[in-house]
Structure 1
Amino acid sequence: VIQIGQGIRTEFDDMVINGDLNSRYAYGGAFLAELIPLGKLGKLGKVGKLTGKGPSELRHKLDLQMFAEGTGNRVPTKLGAGSDPNNFVNEHAKKHLYDPTKPSTPNRSQYGKDVDVFQLRRDTMNNPDKAYSNWPNPNNPNTQRITKYYKEYDGNISTPDTPTGSHRVFENIGNPKSSSHFPYVPRK
């Protein structure tokens, strides 16, 4: 655990030195969500409080928030990929595209600004934590062949409005227009 924490701390220090940290805070602290498992985010306090501190104080905070928990599934990132329509399989899936003018909600979750949606979808389908299919099942009244893929990631794949590491891909073989993929946020 210490070795993992050291690697993350080094990466974090490099970002502070290179001036990248504040630019990432500009869209609500998604940087911390990439580094710290969701269960640990609440213990850090408000992200705005961290921006005025020096690297040593921030490093100490990260030392306290070790990465002992998690699935080991890192969130793939690529600048601006969450708002690139080419990363989405169809119009139905594009409703989950990152849009800074609208809030992400449990009913209409959005991908994070820099989440590599294409890689996330591919990884979820190729290496799912769970996968369910309704075919072949002659007793199933639903004639559409649908496979659902579930995968948990260690970081936030959505926006700070709806933080989640849960990803879902629904592949409809009979009607690809009905396929979709999205950050899963439980409804309350």
Structure 2
Amino acid sequence: ILGDSALDINVHDTYFVIAHFHLVMGISALYGMFAGIYHWYPKMFGRMLNKNLGYLHFWITAVCAYGVFFPMHFIGMAGLPRRYYTNSNFPLFDDLTNANVVITIFAIVGGLAQIIYLYNFFASMFFGKKAEQNPWRSTTLEWTTPVEHIHGNWPGAIPHVYRWSYDYSKPGHDVDFVPQNVPLKEGEEELQH
């Protein structure tokens, strides 16, 4: 967005830059990290994370992320510069003090919400619901490996792949997903190599 010189001339080196970058890049990376941990946790520890604590953690984090960075766009458009030790020396920015207080409150609440995540992560290792072999009903091979720490991925021969990794809702099957290592039924087409 700052590639537009008409906008960049006005908001360069303001809080707009901080807000836009951190909301687009920082929060998306954080969500990706959390999603990966929630997804792979059953494979790593053989237990499920608490779903309700996960929802609570997500919603507080999402609301607080926007509560921090959304107002920063406006104080940046008002001209508040970044990298200044204090803004109270400039009477021009006195009206923005309340916005900074709101941003600080959201940042503190969002930071404290990560305690929910940490509690969920460590408590679920010991007290979480035992994970099934394939808790996400995925068709891909990584969910066919045993939930134990062994050398290699499979205790025996590597499974043969018969179908694509997205065989969901296949006609003629009793379940909604068909794993890749399930042999083809008569009339089904084999993978093209």
Shared topology, TM-score over 0.5?
no
Structure 1 or 2, whichever has the larger Rg, is 2
After TM superposition, the score normalised by the length of structure 2 is: 0.21
TM-score by length of 1: 0.22
| Larger strand share, 1 or 2 | 1
